[in-house]
Amino acid sequence: MKVANVNTTSIRDGVTLGCRTMSNIFNADDHDIPFFGSSVRPEASFGFHPFHSEAHIPGRHLNALLNAEDALGVHVDELVIQKHEKAAFFSYSGPVALPLNRNEIGGSLVNFAPHNIREGFHALYALVTFRGSSRAHDMAEASIAAIFDLWDPKHGWNRTRLEGALGLKVIDFDSPFIGGLARAIGPLVKYHRITGSPPALRLATLLKDKALGEYFPADGECDLSRLGTHTHSITCVLSSLAQLAQATRDAALIGRVKAFYDNGLRRISNDLGWSPENAGPNANPDRGEANNTGDILETALILGRGGIPNIITTRNAFCAAICCRASCVMCHSLSSLPIETALMRNETWRRDTSARSGFRRLMGITRSVWTRSASIWTSSAARSAPSVKHSGKSHGLISIFTGSISCLITRPKCFRFSRPTQTARFKSR
């Protein structure tokens, strides 16, 4: 099927359309809790999910909407933020400070899927960062404490307490750790970066140690029998580890990330940066997921920003283009040429002695972001990450994924404070 008027150049238009979608997915018959499922063909519909409605969607959308508002000044109706915020706090209103879901509309919060902890923390992080919410800050700290109380790296979740005294049903997917709690490393790092929370960094580090010890070997092998087949969980844990390495200047960790990027990633993505939704033997091999492509690109940007040579290659140039066509866009000024025309320069990129310059040409970046000769992973001096100026603000990457925008903002305007106890900067809401 041919389509017309496909946006390949306007960042703002792509972000605005994504925000419009996320602003219009509330179920008026369910207290405006957002739908999870959305289908266009063969029949247009929205749908409730017993595991991933209130426990999953608010975090995806708050993280996206508030970052888009901050980075590009995209207008988002405050009522939309309030609806997502209300749904997020509702998911945390059960017997324990973890994101829970109802089994059916009108039911009680009884389903606990560790898979959703990532999204829960994304909701709380975004509300703390861009709305200064003391309620979100307190809930995040309570949730971290609950995880330390109910989970340990050797035995996993305390099902006796969760399913006994707390009356919950624990929902696990294949590879319960990578498909569950490990996914939360990224938002924990973001939350720590804003609040300085010691428990958040301690938990992220504990999860990192288990991930490296059991799932991401030094040779970068991708063992799906350990990692599971949910590809987005693998790629989001990879990008999460990269974020933690960047935040802590951990050279050993970034080396482990690069090993998987160079080796294991090839099993779950192709040279264009395309990645299947599921890597299982019975999965549809033609069904991709833009989340994964965004994670891959995010990881590449962090590696490149840290001074790792030859990271931004032809694969990542294609990867960025795929993101653009899927409404995943970088916050740099794209070339005025359509993406398809820009991709014709592929042979030029291959012949260029620096693949990164080809990437810059593709993205139309007006000044180099790769100016430092010393790597942050080997230098003891803390250097601020380079960035690109866009519309007078300094930021890194905005990605619109399947129904959501995931944002990396280099220096967001937010409610920073030096110690977690300084809550005066927070607002009650």
Integer Cα distance of 310 and 137 in angstroms = 39
Do the bridges between strand 109-112 and strand 169-170 make them parallel or antiparallel, or are there none, so unpaired?
Answer: parallel
pLDDT, averaged across the chain? 77
Q: How far is CA 239 from CA 103, 119, 132, 192, 415, in A?
A: 31, 15, 26, 16, 24
Q: Contact at 8 Å (CB) between 323 and 339?
A: no
Of 165 and 386, the structure prediction assigns the larger pLDDT to 165
Q: How many CB atoms lie within 10 A of CB 9?
A: 17
Residue 351, pLDDT score: 43
Question: What is the spatial distance between Cα 55 and Cα 49, in angstroms, rounded to a whole number?
Answer: 10
Q: Are residues 18 and 91 in the same domain?
A: yes
Into how many domains does the chain fold? 2
Q: Which residues pair with 109 in a beta bridge?
A: 102
Do residues 230 and 157 both lie within one domain?
Answer: no
How many C-beta atoms lie closer than 10 Å to residue 33's C-beta? 25
Q: Count of alpha carbons within 13 Å of 270, Cβ hemisphere only?
A: 11
Asked whether residue 166 is domain-assigned, the answer is: yes
Q: Which distant-in-sequence residues (6+ apart) come within 8 Å of 37 by Cβ? A: 45, 46, 47, 48, 49
One domain, residues 138 and 24 = yes
Q: For residues 244 and 390, state if they share a domain.
A: yes
Find the mean pLDDT for residues 73-84: 96
| 103 within some domain | yes
The reply to whether 316 falls in a domain is yes
More confident residue, 285 or 315: 285
Band of pLDDT at residue 297, cut at 50, 70 and 90: confident
239 belongs to a structural domain: yes
Helix (H, G, I), strand (E, B) or coil at 389: strand
Residues 286 and 346 in one domain: yes
Domain end position, chosen among 115, 145, 172: 172
- pLDDT value of residue 411: 33
Domain identity same for 14 and 149: yes
- Considering the domain architecture, whether residues 158 and 266 belong to the same structural domain is answered as no
Integer CA distances (angstroms), 292 to 74, 156, 231, 234, in order = 25, 26, 7, 9
- Give residue-wise pLDDT tens across range 348-362: 333 433 434 444 443
Q: Which domain holds residue 263?
A: 215-368+385-411
Check whether residue 274 and residue 165 sit in a common domain.
Answer: no
195: in domain: no
Q: Last residue of a domain, which of 150, 172, 194?
A: 172
Phi, psi of 247 (to 5 degrees): -70, -35
Which pLDDT tens digit goes with each residue over 8-37? 777 788 889 889 999 999 999 999 999 998
Residue 378 in any domain: the answer is no
On whether residue 416 sits in a domain, the answer given is no
Same domain, 285 and 343: yes
252 & 399 share domain = yes
Do 227 and 132 share a structural domain?
A: no
Per the structure block, which two tokens stand in for 35? 């739908």
Are β-strands 37-39 and 33-34 bridged in parallel, bridged antiparallel, or unpaired?
Answer: unpaired
Q: Are residues 222 and 102 in the same domain?
A: no
Confidence of residue 384 (pLDDT cuts 50, 70, 90): very low
What H or E segment, with its residue span, contains residue 242?
Answer: helix 231-248
Peptide bond into 42 cis (omega under 30): yes
Q: Is the pLDDT of residue 273 over 90?
A: no
Contact 330, 397 (CB under 8 A): yes
CATH of the domain at 111: 1.50.10.20
Whether 413 shows a pLDDT value over 70: the answer reads no
Domain boundary among 120, 148, 172: 172
Question: How does 218-253 read in b/e, with b if 16+ C-beta sit within 10 Å?
Answer: eebebebeebbbbbbbbbbbbbbbbbbbbebbbeeb
- Does any domain span residue 193? no
Instruction: Give me the helices (H) in 274-381, please.
Output: 290-305, 314-325, 339-343, 346-351, 355-363
Hunting for tokens 């959305």 — which residue is that?
38
